[in-house]
Structure 1
Amino acid sequence: MRKKFEDCFSELQSDMVAICLEYVENRAEDIYIYCSYEPEMYAFDVSFRINGRVVLKNHLNHAVKETNDSFTYDTSEQRQMAVLDIGLKDLEDIHALCKEYGRDMPTEMKLHYNVKQNSLKAQYKYDLIYSEDEELLPDDIFDAWLDEIKKSG
């Protein structure tokens, strides 16, 4: 039996969460994944809430330094690139899936995974966001979203 679009779409999002959870060695409170696709450009990035602090993937150990925890994350460039590569591949697979099923590809996906509750919330947009703006980049959108998250607690 052929899988439904929704099942395949969910599996790819779950894979994104799984690789991010593996990167942080299951030691995060929340995972925030940003995905974007606008004509011919894919973007993927992730940040984490650790010890109540939202940090970028390369600053995980900053959240640990503030505690008495002696644990150290491996934030090597190789590991960071592996997470980004897998996330981008999943995003490309989502795009291929949308084409296969004749569905619109989201231009933006904001995923919030609550580790303790094992729950995933997603927000999708379908309008162009940055490709029609000469100065705006996907990183700007990701950074603005993280600022919102930090302000909301």
Structure 2
Amino acid sequence: MGKVFEDYLAELQVDMVAICLEYVEDKAEDIFIYCSYEPKVYAFDVFYKINGNLVLKHNLNDAIDGTGGSNKYDTSEERQEAMLDIGLKNLKEINKTCEDFGRQMPTEIKLHYNVSNNSLKASYKYDLIYSNHNDLMSDDIFDDWFEEVNNSIY
């Protein structure tokens, strides 16, 4: 039996998780991935829970400072861009898969991966989130989600 739409979608989402997990050298409790596609604009970003702290991708070392951790994360711009480029490539492939299967492309995908449980939860939206507001961008929605998760943890 051949692959179905959900198989392709799952593979691409798992690849997104894998590249984000590789970025933190498999040392995170949770990974939160944000994907957005609104009229020809793709966005991909990620934040992490490490040592009980919620941190953005460029602030990973803040989660180990003061914990006695001696290994620093490589958060160089080159490394961040490489990860984001792969995530965007996967998001574009999701869009192509949706087109190939005659499915609507989500305008927003939020993935939450719990590392210790090896569980992935996904939520999807199909309505325009920010492009119909002059004062909103995908970064604003990402920042709001970060704050929402941060407030629910603490």
RMSD between aligned residues: 0.6
Q: What CA distance in whole angstroms lies between the structure 2 residues aligned with 1:30 and 1:66?
A: 20
Aligned match of 1:52: 52
| Counterpart for residue 92 of structure 2 | 92
TM-score (norm 2): 0.98
Secondary structure at the aligned position of 1:103 is classed as coil
Specify the alignment match of 2:145 in structure 1: 145
Question: Match for 1:132: what amino acid?
Answer: N
Q: What displacement does 1:71 show?
A: 1.2
The CA deviation at 1:52 is 0.4
Partner of 1:43: helix, strand, or coil? strand
Corresponding residue for residue 9 of structure 1: 9
Superposition misfits of 4+ residues, deviation over 6 angstroms: none
Report the Cα distance in structure 1 between the residues aligned to 2:109 and 2:15, rounded to whole angstroms: 14
Structure 1 counterpart of 2:20: 20
1:95-129 Cα shifts (integer Å, max 9, x gaps): 00000000010000010000000000011000001
Structure 2 counterpart SS, 1:142: helix
Structure 2 residues not aligned, in runs of 5+: none
Secondary structure of the residue that 1:65 maps to in structure 2? coil
Aligned length: 153
Q: Name whichever of 1-10 and 120-129 sits farther off.
A: 1-10
**TM-score (ref. length: structure 1):** 0.99
Mapped to 2, the partners of 1:2 and 1:121 lie a distance apart of 25
> What amino acid maps onto 2:85 in structure 1?
D
Gaps of 5+ in 1: none
Within 2, Cα distance between the matches of 1:41 and 1:69?
A: 39
- The letter of the residue matching 1:114 is N
Q: Residue 34 of structure 1 aligns to a residue in which SS? A: strand
- What is the Cα deviation at residue 3 of structure 1? 1.2
1:47 aligned counterpart, secondary structure: strand
